[in-house]
């Protein structure tokens, strides 16, 4: 019984981490048709920035509770600086090209960012454990979980709710939906598509960075941490259906539960269980769970 509970709780914690990252990926794809291979590097950037900022805050001896604000601030900073830089500096020259070409462009960007991170932060690892332990633990039956994990889950729910309100409930969200459906008609109707793209990519970058910043206290921040994250995020969005927000949520839950189930029951298949599920879902629903089949153009 307690094993099942552990699987569920672990799965949900893992899923909320995945959701925050994957939702940025799927947003960027949905609006801009760019499958961003550099998303994992943006996640790593967020983690590094958070480790540096929160680390500096704690070393200065200020109230340790403020380190949480530093985590969020780091993610926002990364989003606001790096997002527009990449969109204006590189991606805008590539709009209208084939989706596969854009995958290659972002793959090149991934290679560049991996080294930029190494150049800025060096190759040693960073630790900021304080925010993780600060809130204490909570007992769930025989198990004990850090409260910080609940913060992670809460953050994921908050991100999901805010995005939903933002997309379906605001004027800007409606403009965004229009651009998703047809870029050219939206432009003809007077929507500033370039600005929508800029905002979307900044938001996507911010989401990746938030994922990284919130993870930073739970892991050691090392070079290459984005490499595995990106393929996990791919699995999530491909399972859910590229460009679908609900799909990202469901995909994250599926991947989270499958992984924690595998960890607890079949540890030898842990690494590839996720990709196995992804391959299985694609075999049955070639475009993912939440995307309808598309008519082919002659």
Partner 1 sequence: MTSFRRTTLGLGVALLVMGLAAPLLPKWALFLVTIAIAKGMVALGLLLLMRTGLVSFGQGLYFAAGAYAAGVGSQALDLGDAVPMVLLGGLTAAAVAAGLGLLLARYRAIFFAMLSLAFSMILYGLLVKTSALGSTDGFNVAARTVFGLPIGSTLGRYGVYALAALCAFGAAVGLDRYLGSYLGRLAPAVRDNELRVEYMGASVRNLVHLNLVIAAAMAGVGGALTALAVGHIDPEMAYWTTSGEFVFVAILSGTASVAAPFAGAVLLELLRSFAYEHAPNTWQLVMGSAMLAVILFLPEGLWSIFRRRRRAAT
Site residues (vs partner 1, CB under 8 A): 35, 90, 93-94, 98-101, 103-105, 107-112, 114-116, 118-119, 123, 227, 231, 234-235, 238, 242, 268-273, 275-276, 278-279, 282-283, 286-287, 296-298
The smaller minimum CB distance to partner 1, of residues 93 and 168, is found at 93
Nearer to partner 1, 40 or 160 (CB): 40
Taking the complex as a whole, how short is the minimal distance between the CB of residue 289 and partner 1, in angstroms? 14
User: Measured from the CB atom, is 76 or 94 closer to partner 1?
Assistant: 94
Task: Name beta bridge partners: 139.
Answer: 144
- From the list 196, 256, 183, the residue with the least C-alpha distance to 20 is 256
Q: At closest approach, how far in Å is the CB of 259 from partner 1?
A: 12
Q: With 0-12 CB in 10 A as exposed, 13-18 as middle and 19+ as buried, what is 185?
A: exposed
CB 234, min distance to partner 1, A: 6
Q: Which is nearer to partner 1, 164 or 287 (CB)?
A: 287
Cβ neighbors of 64 (< 8 A, separation 6 or more) are 58, 130, 131, 134
How far apart, in whole angstroms, are the C-alpha atoms of residue 165 and residue 180?
A: 17
What's the closest the beta carbon of residue 104 comes to partner 1, in angstroms?
A: 6
Q: Comparing C-alpha atoms, which of 118, 113, 79, 117 is closest to residue 211?
A: 79
Backbone angles phi, psi at 98, to 5 degrees: -60, 145
Closer residue to partner 1 in complex, CB, 148/197: 197
Cα–Cα nearest to 210, from 77, 66, 89, 81: 77
Dist CA 120 CA 91 (whole Å): 23
Question: For partner 1, which is the closer residue by CB, 130 or 270?
Answer: 270
- CB 12, min distance to partner 1, A: 23
CB 29 within 8 A of CB 169: no
CB of 278 to partner 1, least distance (A): 5
* C-beta separation of 155 from 237 below 8 A: no
What's the min distance (Å) between Cβ of 274 and partner 1? Answer: 8
Choose between 105 and 163: whose C-beta lies nearer to partner 1.
105
Helices 147-169 and 193-215: crossing angle, nearest 10°?
Answer: 170
């Amino acid at each position: 019984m307690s094993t099942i509970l552990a699987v569920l709780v672990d799965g949900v914690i893992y899923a909320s981490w995945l959701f925050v990252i994957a939702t940025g990926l799927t947003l960027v794809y949905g609006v801009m048709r760019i499958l961003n291979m550099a998303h994992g590097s943006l996640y790593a950037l967020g983690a590094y920035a958070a480790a540096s900022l929160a680390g500096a805050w704690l070393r200065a001896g200020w109230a340790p509770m403020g380190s949480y604000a530093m985590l969020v601030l780091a993610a926002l900073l990364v989003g606001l600086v790096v997002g527009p830089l990449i969109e204006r500096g590189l991606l805008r020259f590539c709009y209208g090209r084939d989706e596969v070409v854009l995958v290659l462009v972002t793959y090149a960007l991934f290679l560049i960012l991996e080294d930029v991170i190494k150049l800025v932060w060096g190759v040693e690892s960073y630790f900021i454990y304080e925010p993780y332990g600060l809130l204490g633990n909570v007992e769930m039956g025989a198990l004990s979980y850090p409260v910080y994990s609940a913060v992670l889950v809460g953050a994921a729910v908050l991100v999901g709710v805010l995005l939903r309100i933002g997309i379906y409930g605001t004027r800007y969200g409606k403009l965004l939906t229009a651009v998703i459906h047809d870029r050219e008609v939206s432009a003809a109707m007077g929507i500033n598509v370039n600005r929508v793209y800029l905002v979307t990519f900044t938001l996507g970058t911010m989401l990746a960075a938030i994922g990284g910043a919130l993870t930073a206290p739970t892991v050691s921040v090392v070079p290459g941490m984005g490499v595995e994250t990106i393929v996990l995020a791919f699995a999530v969005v491909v399972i859910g259906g590229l460009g679908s927000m609900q799909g990202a949520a469901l995909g994250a839950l599926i991947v989270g539960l499958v992984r924690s189930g595998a960890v607890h029951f079949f540890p030898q298949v842990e690494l590839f269980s996720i990709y196995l599920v992804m391959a299985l879902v694609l075999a049955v629903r070639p475009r993912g769970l939440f995307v309808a089949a598309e008519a082919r153009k002659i």
